[in-house]
Amino acid sequence: MTIKPGEDGLHPTYCRLCEAQCGVLADVKDGKIINILPDRDHPVSKGHLCVKAKGMLEVTYDDDRVLTPLKRTGKPGEFEPVSWDDALGDIATRLGDVIEQHGGTSVSSYIGNPAAFSTMHYGYGYGFIRMLGGDKFFNAQHVDTGARTLASDQVFGGPGRFPFPDIPDTHLLMIFGGNPLVSHMSLISSPRARNHLDAIHKRDGVVVVDPRRTETARRYEHQPIKPDGDVWLLIGMLKTLLEESLMQPEFIAEHVVGWDELATEIAGWSWDQVVENADIAEDRIRELARRFAASDAAACYGRVGTNRGRFSTLSNILMDAINLGTGNFGKRGAMIIGVSAFEPAEGRNMPSSYGKRHSRFGNIPIIAGPHPGGSLADEILVPGDGQIHALFVDSGNPVISYPDGDKTARAFESLDLFVSLDFYVTESNRYADYILPTPTFYERADINDMWSANAPEPWVHYVDAAVPPMGQSRLEYDIYADIAERMGYPDPISFLMGKDGSEGRGDLFDIVDANLRRGVYGDQFGENPDGLSVEVLRERYPHGVQTLERMDTNFTWNKISYPDGRARAWTDLVESEFARLRKEKVKLDSGELRLFGRRLLHGMNSWMHNSDKVIRNARPTLQMHPIDAEARQIEDGGRAKVASRNGQINVIVEITDEVVEGSVNYPHGFGHDGNWRKANEIDGANVNVLASSDPADWEPVTGNCHLDGIVVEVSPA
């Protein structure tokens, strides 16, 4: 017997804020969650929680939360409640008018970060837009994972998989541009990652390559680097491996194509070039490479800090090359690719479609669907075929998350129709015509569909809502399906399944259930009586079920899309990126200050800053090295003006040798002026007004925005 939404008692559920997806117990009394407790019976998180899970309780019962549909009645941010019927009726009519006048390609959407944790959200969200004829979608790819996605496309032959380190058995972990003790690890679902990292530290080590001595770097071993310096360190490590014959030739012969071409290229770079640009001594680079090769199970893992730089794609490809060349791929403790619970064991990666389409603005090759983030404003503002006139923003806040926030705001205000699905009035949707309220994750059923493939200790967890949706909030899927129905379309799920909707509205969990039952752990519709279905999960495993003791490392190999099943160390793109590196060679010590990002333990992207628990200790500051501060007569705790070619902000300064000389950092997600009372009070700025929406400032192969390594001038304010 499962407990029903809103019933008194402890509801097993899970947190849907980051990949860790920790098990939670929601204590419900009189229809309200009164406390959030760690779930010690969750098979993998075993009681791990961070402050944000409780913060979500404050969000759920926040007085500033939107609980009725809102219609814009005046200036940005001025709204009045309307009925669902009026809101959806007007949206359907106006959407129909836009499509009639400008065609389906004038309709688009941004679906942001939280959607990565709610069931099939990207799928039906994009299905909805495609059904209306839309051909442009936006999400966080180009500010988060773009370089990793293109590296996967090149190295594995398809963009759909993120490799991850098999951390319970890793002996040496090199982390490039990630801060797991704050982020709780990204692109890998491992709620107790810190325990694993501590154990790795006792084996051969955890080396954190980062321009800041981060929380993670402090606990383990830090290798400072200037923003954008990674590609040089990686070339140096590969040079060492080649010069000192530290590779695994048999492994390479079996699994890698194009190794000799890469080796020739690497040999063409001199140690002088490497050392000058990496700003790290040759001895140290050699030491890191030797340790990597000598370790029984090593992994090079890159995250956000190696995705928004000038040569991030090449850096990610070179990390793969180091893993592959030393035999640290598809092996216990090394880099692996997993299988999702919603595909069969032999499930294949999607094939590459890179460059088959280009963006209208910036002419950037499309990697895996989404359009370059930096182009959103111009896709709205620049007239022409395919110009966006109607936009849905769902689970996102692009005015703060995307580059050139001011321009994005201007673009939003110019739309014919702007519909937001959110539970706050944010910096983005204050320009909307309608805000449609949605539940928080404690008010919805979900299954951990998207990330089950990236868990070293894989599990599946289905949960019902702990409490029913608050106020008039409604699930995103139902909102899309209702609008579609009013316009005479099938619901997005039926559309995605090639049906016309005549059999009635498709249920999200019917598809989920079918995929799970056919999947690697599924009951195969009765053929495997011990296997899983949604019903089995619901009845037997309310705390989730660990499906394998460890992710099978062999899954890695059938996720390679090249027909020969081998990875590539050399492609046309690798060749042209090296040529570009030769030409552009980022000058790292030209006296300029470079700005990079930082995440706060007490903070979540552009939101959750209205929760006391979360923001209590959060203080957005510009971190600056003492030498750089002295040269500019800037005082600790004082205010400074930070200016880029694109814009300027006014910030509080924190002088610290935590950052490498020549760089400064500032967290993103601040500068609030939505309808949130506490968040608006925080003394912070939107750092992304410094980032540029000019394609010249994106990585050309991905269209990734340069959010790290922005050249800035800092002066006393």
Ligand X SMILES: Nc1nc2c(c(=O)[nH]1)N[C@H]1C(S)=C(S)[C@@H](COP(=O)(O)OP(=O)(O)OC[C@H]3O[C@@H](n4cnc5c(=O)[nH]c(N)nc54)[C@H](O)[C@@H]3O)O[C@H]1N2
Binding site for ligand X (CB under 6 A): 18, 112-114, 118, 140, 143-144, 176-180, 182-184, 186, 209-212, 214, 225, 227-228, 230, 303-306, 309, 394-398, 401, 421-424, 426, 438, 441, 476, 596-599, 601, 603-607, 668, 687-688, 707-709
Q: Considering the complex, what minimum distance in angstroms separates the CB of residue 118 from ligand SF4?
A: 13
Does the protein bind ligand SF4 through residue 49 (CB under 6 A)?
yes
Given ligand SF4, ligand X, Mo ion, none, residue 424, with its beta carbon under 5 to 8 Å by kind, binds: ligand X
Q: Considering the complex, what minimum distance in angstroms separates the CB of residue 422 from ligand X?
A: 5
Q: What whole-number distance in Å separates Cα of residue 591 and Cα of residue 588?
A: 8
The number of helices, as runs of H, and strands, as runs of E, in the chain is 25, 30
* The dihedral sign for the CA sequence 593, 288, 186, 682: negative
Strand pairing category for 593-598 and 663-667:
parallel
Q: What SS3 state is found at 210?
A: strand
Q: Considering the complex, what minimum distance in angstroms separates the CB of residue 92 from ligand X?
A: 19
Amino acid symbol at 322: I
Does the protein bind ligand SF4 through residue 479 (CB under 6 A)?
no
Lateral strand order in the sheet of 70-72: 79-81, 70-72, 434-436, 417-421, 390-394, 107-111, 136-138
Does the protein bind Mo ion through residue 19 (CB under 5 A)?
no
Cβ closer to Mo ion: 183 or 553? 183
Cβ closer to ligand SF4: 50 or 99? 50
Q: What whole-number distance in Å separates Cα of residue 298 and Cα of residue 207?
A: 11
Given Mo ion, ligand X, ligand SF4, none, residue 22, with its beta carbon under 5 to 8 Å by kind, binds: ligand SF4
Per-residue mark of binding to ligand SF4, 127-166 (x: CB under 6 A)? ----------------------------------------
Residues in the chain, overall count = 717
Q: What whole-number distance in Å separates Cα of residue 714 and Cα of residue 322?
A: 37
Who's near 308: CB < 8 A, 6+ residues apart? 143, 146, 147, 597, 699, 704, 705, 706, 707, 708, 709
Q: Considering the complex, what minimum distance in angstroms separates the CB of residue 301 from ligand SF4?
A: 18
Does the protein bind Mo ion through residue 144 (CB under 5 A)?
yes
Does the protein bind ligand SF4 through residue 466 (CB under 6 A)?
no
Which residues face 70 on adjacent strands?
Answer: 81, 435
107: left (phi over 0), alpha (psi -120 to 50) or beta: beta
Are 341 and 458 contacting, i.e. CB atoms less than 8 angstroms apart? yes
Q: Which residue's Cβ has the minimum distance to ligand X?
A: 305
Interface pick for ligand SF4 out of 5, 18, 280, 335 (rule CB under 6 A) = 18
Q: Considering the complex, what minimum distance in angstroms separates the CB of residue 299 from Mo ion?
A: 21
Q: Considering the complex, what minimum distance in angstroms separates the CB of residue 15 from ligand X?
A: 11
Tokens read off for 563: 């027909």
Are 365 and 354 contacting, i.e. CB atoms less than 8 angstroms apart? yes
Given ligand SF4, ligand X, Mo ion, none, residue 21, with its beta carbon under 5 to 8 Å by kind, binds: ligand SF4
Amino acid symbol at 697: D
Count, residues near Mo ion per rule CB under 5 A: 1
Q: Considering the complex, what minimum distance in angstroms separates the CB of residue 629 from Mo ion?
A: 30
Tokens read off for 338: 């997993």
Given ligand X, Mo ion, ligand SF4, none, residue 142, with its beta carbon under 5 to 8 Å by kind, binds: none
Q: What whole-number distance in Å separates Cα of residue 233 and Cα of residue 253?
A: 25
138 backbone dihedrals φ, ψ, rounded to 5°: -130, 145
Are 553 and 336 contacting, i.e. CB atoms less than 8 angstroms apart? yes
Q: Considering the complex, what minimum distance in angstroms separates the CB of residue 14 from ligand SF4?
A: 7
Cβ closer to ligand SF4: 442 or 489? 442
Task: Report how far apart the first and last C-alpha atoms of the chain are (Å, whole number).
Answer: 63
Q: Considering the complex, what minimum distance in angstroms separates the CB of residue 191 from ligand SF4?
A: 6
Cβ closer to Mo ion: 45 or 401? 401
Where along the sequence are the contacts to Mo ion (CB under 5 A)? 144
Where along the sequence are the contacts to ligand SF4 (CB under 6 A)? 15, 17-18, 20-22, 49-50, 52-53, 184, 191
